[in-house]
């Protein structure tokens, strides 16, 4: 490791609420309700009761959908649900532009509480080629804000946590990142310009 490497600064991001507008869970449950005619509160009660099983990789997405169908009475073939689920992703274009504009010497990571099928879908996105490290909770078996999640991110980044800014839209996750030694940057999509200024300042040192 060179002297420059010892002082270099890098960045890692959350996905939902950072590279998406709003929450994926909120949009996907709304879409399921509208497609099937089942009340939104009923859909969300079942969804949020079991989504942790997806986030830690304990269930497959078809298994999750089967349980939701049994609880809510929803009748929708799994392939149609999967297409609806992936179609619920609403990209936040400004953040993808920021990602693409990062200098090549900056290592870039992702730590996301995510789900089977969705994580595979994101990996296939050409824009994700800019990431040097992708850590998904459903593959790791631990989700933010657990220390294990941030330890996995540091290992995947290959640099000390103190040299990495972690970007998330949830204060609890920022606090956990800071406890793990990262520099925290709380994000809100309506203040993207302020974020870019803060990130540029961090990267300059």
Can you say how many angstroms the Cα of residue 61 is from the centroid of all Cα atoms in its chain?
17
Helices 40-55, 24-36: crossing angle, 10 deg rounding: 130
Does residue 165 share a domain with residue 124? yes
The residue among 22, 40, 23, 21 whose CA lies nearest residue 31 is 40
Does residue 41 share a domain with residue 141? no
Tokens of 53: 């099983």
Residues 6+ apart with CB under 8 A from 193: none
CATH of the domain at 141: 3.40.50.1000
Does residue 10 share a domain with residue 40? no
Q: Pick the range with the lowest mean pLDDT from 11-15, 20-24, 145-149, 199-203.
A: 20-24
pLDDT of residue 22: 83
Q: Which of 86, 120, 138 is the last residue of a domain?
A: 86
Is 183 or 205 the better-scoring residue by pLDDT? 183
Does residue 174 share a domain with residue 154? yes
pTM higher than 0.85 for the full model? yes
Does residue 154 share a domain with residue 141? yes
Does residue 77 share a domain with residue 116? no
Does residue 56 share a domain with residue 45? yes
Question: What tens digit of pLDDT does each residue of 14-33 get?
Answer: 999 999 998 899 999 999 99
Q: What range does the domain containing 33 cover?
A: 24-86
Does residue 102 share a domain with residue 39? no
Residues 6+ apart with CB under 8 A from 137: 55, 56, 57, 112, 113, 114, 143, 144, 149
Q: How many domains are contained in the chain?
A: 2
Task: Please report, for the chain, how many H helices and E strands are present, in that order.
Answer: 11, 5
Q: Which of 36, 66, 86 is the last residue of a domain?
A: 86
């Amino acid at each position: 490791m060179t002297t420059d490497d010892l002082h270099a600064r890098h960045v890692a991001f959350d996905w939902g609420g950072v590279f998406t507008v709003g929450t994926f869970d909120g949009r996907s449950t709304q879409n399921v309700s509208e497609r099937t005619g089942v009340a939104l509160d009923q859909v969300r009660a079942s969804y949020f009761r079991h989504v942790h099983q997806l986030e830690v990789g304990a269930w497959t997405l078809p298994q999750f959908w089967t349980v939701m169908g049994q609880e809510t009475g929803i009748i929708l073939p799994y392939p149609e649900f999967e297409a609806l689920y992936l179609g619920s992703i609403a990209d936040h274009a400004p953040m993808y532009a920021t990602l693409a504009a990062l200098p090549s010497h900056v290592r870039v990571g992702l730590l996301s509480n995510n789900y089977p099928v969705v994580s595979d879908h994101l990996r296939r996105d050409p824009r994700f080629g800019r990431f040097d490290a992708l850590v998904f909770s459903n593959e790791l078996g631990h989700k933010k804000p657990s220390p294990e999640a941030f330890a996995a991110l540091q290992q995947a980044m290959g640099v000390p946590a103190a040299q990495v800014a972690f970007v998330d839209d949830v204060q609890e996750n920022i606090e956990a990142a800071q406890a793990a030694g990262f520099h925290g940057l709380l994000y809100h999509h309506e203040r993207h310009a302020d974020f870019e200024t803060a990130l540029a300042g961090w990267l300059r040192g």
